[in-house]
Chains A and B, each alone.
Chain A
Amino acid sequence: MSSWYWKTLLFIDALDLEDAAEISADICIVGAGAAGIALALELMKSGRTVALMEAGGLESDDQAQALYAGKIEGLNYTPLEAARIRYFGGTTNHWSGWCWPLDPIDFEKRDWMPNSGWPISRADLDPYYLRAQPYCEIGKDDFSLQGWASEQEPALNAPGLESRLLKFSPPTRFGLKFRPQFAASERVAVYLNATLLQLETTATGERVTAGMFACGLGSRRCRVLARHFVLASGGIENAKLLLQSRDTHERGLGNRYDLVGRYFADHPGHARGLVLFNDPEQNLSLYKYHRQLPTLKEKITDGGSMAAFLQTEADRQSMLDWIEAGADEAEYQRVIKPIVERSCLACHNSAGIAFFRNFETFSGLREVALRPSNMNPGAVGYSAGLVLSDEQQRQEEIGNARTMLADRGSWSDLFADEDFFESVGVVLDNFTDLSRAVYNRALSPESKRTIGLMRCAIEPVPNPESRITLTEERDALGQPGIALTWKLTEQDKRTFERTETAIGRALGSSGIGRLLKAGDLNDADWGNTLNHGWHHMGTTRMHASPRSGVVDERCRVHGVANLHIAGSSVFPTYGYANPTLTIVALALRLADDLTVGFES
């Protein structure tokens, strides 16, 4: 054991290490995002020593972030340096906080979906889902609707349609939330600005012996020696790190069957239509977003999300003064709008630009500025989405999909809200004079017919042609670049269309309402009309056989006894659920395995 491991170093900047320093630990975790942090915290309880290696620092840094850049060669995608975050806490630093478990059917092999199925079941993960919830600050229960749906907030009752509970994490910024626990730990040392370059193995490649890390962006290097290594660097980087570890395997570690980097998936989404409810007083409360949203003041102060984007202290203070004075429009035009425009221009990534776009109108910023803080302090945020029943999915032979049903108030409200018009986009293209006239009673001032906007996100088919590959380019550390080729299939298109049709049928059959479709995805370029969730999945997929998966059912890389992978890169099939809760659940399961492994 390295002598200086045992010093009370807490957070160690790799830049402070001597060149060629060696670090020893029982377990080396590469990446301090949701998976790496949850895993390290669990292992902290086991008494094992852990080196938690983070490629970034404690705060955002443009140079470090730029190392996440890559080529986009398939469908349009967010620039890779904006779609994930490289500092302590990882991508939870821009996580929106949506938590739901995968459905049992997501784990099943489905005949109509090639390459589907996990080697474990939902029941195997259930105990870990329970344990994962406190990490995400979402209470602790089994996600059944019981106790959430009620007479005041009823679930829609339509044949073939089911409602699923969604819980909102505050969202937990893992890096901020759990930093004190690492600072107090004697067993876990966090190394910052330490980028894994290569995993070194025994001559046969059956064990990893060390990890070679760059210290910052210079030429200084350090090595970590450990009994177990865990890659927890996200769905893109996990694959990249294996592909570039070529000491003993020409195609990369764990890549004997050319699977590493393949099956890349995200959740494609779309505003898929509007529902007009028969009942003018249709209660959609369950489907609204019940969550505590931060005020603008909170976004600006205490390291909130907006603080990082505002360029100067003077700008921050001007914004705070404006809020305190009551968010007046004249002042907005005179003082605040230039700040917003300046900040938008200065943002180095699309995430920042998207953030400020919300504030380019007075009404957009005012709404956030005057929103009351913590309307229900301490409560767990929740909503519900609609999914087709398992039977319905089997009949239609489609992937799983969830549809959020945002209540847009009355028809007249809808048409009065210009911002909403813009956001609905493709849906509004279908609002012809006819369709307005058909339901024109709803347009009359005395009418308050309820409108719901459907937003659908689907489970894509596992597709080996959708993948991450290395490129010939080199980054600032001399490492290969990456290219993302995201692809969808005709089957994915069918999932969108049939899900929408099935929902329309169910709503009509039950007399709940009628659906206005968003339009067919007939354009040859349909894939580029969709959005995505920055959910990087599948690139080191789990399968019992090494011919079909990179890791086994215990998340261990096939053929490499002491190398494990944590994160959504192991998902062999994806469901519709945002992946963070499952990522944490799998990390806790891996922590148990590693603990038991040491004991045995």
Chain B
Amino acid sequence: MITRRHLFTLAGCFSLYPALVSGRETQRHELLKYLHPQSDRAMAAMIRIGDVWLQTNPVDLTSLLRRLERDLRLHQQPVGSTEEFAERAARRISSDFDQDDTVDIRGWMLAATEVRICAFFSLCARGL
């Protein structure tokens, strides 16, 4: 599951997402540095979840980011801090469970949003 620390990281990640979408190599390397504070094993785990989901739900990075942006209402209500972003993502994940918007990843019942976040990490890793 997505920890608070992951979400903080992701918040920063989203602040850089225009650069990601533009796909410039140097900026992606910057992002990798930014993502790296998590433990290698946790990162690897998230990437593996993302990989599993992507096998049956192929999507490109741009589309995935737009979907996350929409689900997390980043345009309508821009986040002002990593904490705010984390809270919003946590609410959305909770709401996914309430709405039965869940994904089965090899037996684990996970929220669709948290799986998409994993897929985001996965695609980033592939692209770098």
Contact = CB atoms under 8 A, between A and B. Distances in A.
A501 interface: yes
Given A508-B109, A515-B109, A517-B107, A438 B45 contact: yes
A439 B106 contact: no
A441 B97 contact: no
Contact of B93 (A159, A276, A437, A508): A508
Contact of A430 (B52, B106, B110, B111): B106
A510 B93 CA distance: 10
Contact of B100 (A438, A505, A510): A505
Interface string B32-46: 000000010110111
Contacts of B98: 159, 505, 509
A434 B110 CA distance: 14
Main secondary structure of the interface of A (DSSP, over half): mixed
A437 B45 CA distance: 5
A511 B109 contact: no
Contacts of B97: 504-506, 508-509
Contact of A504 (B41, B45, B109): B109
Interface residues on B, range: 20 to 34
A514 B100 CA distance: 14
B104 interface: yes
Of residues A276, A430, A437, which shows the largest number of chain B Cβ atoms within 10 Å of its Cβ?
A437
Interface string A506-522: 10111101111111000
Contacts of A435: 105-108
A469 interface: no
Contacts of B108: 435, 438, 514-517
Contact of A440 (B1, B41, B102, B107): B41
B105 A437 contact: no
B107 A516 contact: yes
A504 B101 CA distance: 12
B68 interface: no
Interface string A206-238: 000000000000000000000000000000000
Contacts of B44: 437, 440
Contacts of A434: 48-49, 52, 105-106
B41 A438 contact: no
Contact of A508 (B42, B45, B102, B107): B102
B90 interface: yes
A439 B45 CA distance: 7
A3 interface: no
Of residues B42, B100, B106, B109, which shows the largest number of chain A Cβ atoms within 10 Å of its Cβ?
B109
B1 A514 contact: yes
B94 A511 contact: yes
Contact of A514 (B46, B52, B106, B110): B110
13 contacts: A430-B107, A432-B106, A434-B105, A439-B45, A440-B44, A501-B109, A505-B97, A505-B98, A505-B102, A508-B97, A514-B109, A515-B109, A516-B108
Interface of B: 1, 39, 41-42, 44-46, 48-49, 52, 90, 93-98, 100, 102, 104-111
Q: Which 9 A-B pairs have the closest CB atoms?
A: A508-B97, A509-B97, A504-B109, A430-B107, A438-B45, A515-B109, A505-B97, A437-B45, A440-B41
